[in-house]
Amino acid sequence: MSSQRSRGSSRWKHAVVLVTGGTGSFGQEFIKVLLREHRPKKLIIFSRDELKQHEMQTHGFNQPALRYFIGDVRDVDRLRRAMQGVDIVVHAAALKQVPSCEYNPFEAVRTNVLGAQNVIEAAIDCRVKKVMALSTDKAVNPVNLYGATKLCAEKMFIQSNSYRVKGVPKFSCVRYGNVLASRGSVITLFRKQQREQGVITITDPAMTRFWVTLTQGVWFVIRAIERMEGGEIFVPKLPSMRVVDVSRTLAPSCKVRYIGVRPGEKLHESLISEDEVRHTVEREGMYVIRPEFPWWRRQQPSKRKALPSGFRYCSDTNTWWLTGPDLKRMTGELSAEPNGRE
């Protein structure tokens, strides 16, 4: 995926932006980039974690444009209060750990599904202009509860475009793969295991995943917000790598122990399902899954190319693969910029 910077700064200058889950890994990086590159009129950090909000304020996130709201996406009234006068909502709040969601299914549904409904209803009531929801490759043909809740949330956000009044709100989604070195990521786990145990645990030597850096994910979300018409699922072009090769690159001398595929885990991930291919188009650096509903305004075909019959966008059949040096650059262990691809 390209690391090219967005050219839409003027579009954000007068915008009021709210980020749910704003104290998470994505939220903090998104806020950092938006403040540095686009300088919106106001940026609201909405989260339930008082400690993380305090830590952000004492570690540089204290610019005049920032506002801190304690609140939970399970509370629709608090969301309505927070969204008063907001132009753009980025919905990043979710329970994301697969084992945790499997063990706490009711909590996963309350946050990821009912919380998504609350964000949608508050955005409609407050006449927000654009809402972009973050999703995951695990929402494609899901085999675990986390993926199932995110698929449900995707469906809700896309279909909510039928409730527009005079063109607002516009709802879209971004769907991408594993985020390198974010909190709870496999790379963070590998480094901890290397440091504390000297043994890295891997489920299966054949397992592959799509990979993206936190910064690349943020820039892709910004780019998608600037281009959205409402109803699209934006999918970046991403590289794949076997999980075992990730471990060998980051800890070549460390022992590896295979523990078998865990419940709710796939060997390979997909970013576009076979059924979605029929209404997906290719654009520069991305794929756009277009809705199949009457409210969708058909776009002109310029700069868009339909995908061929039988196309599969899966981590094991991907044509773009990371090498060890690529991965080290992406994780910051080499100083050069990560390889970009449009």
Three-class DSSP category at 70:
strand
φ and ψ of 258, to 5 deg: -90, 130
Mark out the alpha helices in 43-104 (DSSP H runs): 50-58, 76-82, 98-103
Query: What are the structure tokens assigned to 96, written together?
Result: 């994301």
Catalytic (active site) residue 303: no
CA 333/CA 180 separation, integer angstroms: 12
Query: Could you tell me if 178 and 238 are in contact, meaning their C-beta atoms sit under 8 angstroms apart?
Result: no
Kindly give, in sequence order, each residue whose CB lies less than 8 Å from that of residue 252, ignoring residues fewer than 6 positions away. Answer: none
Residue 181 amino acid letter? A
Which residue is listed with tokens 């304690």? 70
CA 328/CA 117 separation, integer angstroms: 39
CA 180/CA 183 separation, integer angstroms: 9
CA 287/CA 265 separation, integer angstroms: 25
| Burial (CB count within 10 angstroms: exposed 0-12, middle 13-18, buried 19+), residue 1 | buried
Helix-strand-coil split of the chain, %, nearest 5: 35, 20, 40
Kindly give, in sequence order, each residue whose CB lies less than 8 Å from that of residue 95, ignoring residues fewer than 6 positions away. Answer: 101, 104, 107, 108, 111, 112, 146, 149
Query: Could you tell me if 201 and 190 are in contact, meaning their C-beta atoms sit under 8 angstroms apart?
Result: no
Residue from 130, 138, 237, 266 carrying the catalytic annotation:
138
* Chain centre distance of CA 10: 24
* Chain centre distance of CA 338: 19
Three-class DSSP category at 147:
helix
Three-class DSSP category at 189:
helix
Q: Please give the positions annotated as active site.
A: 138
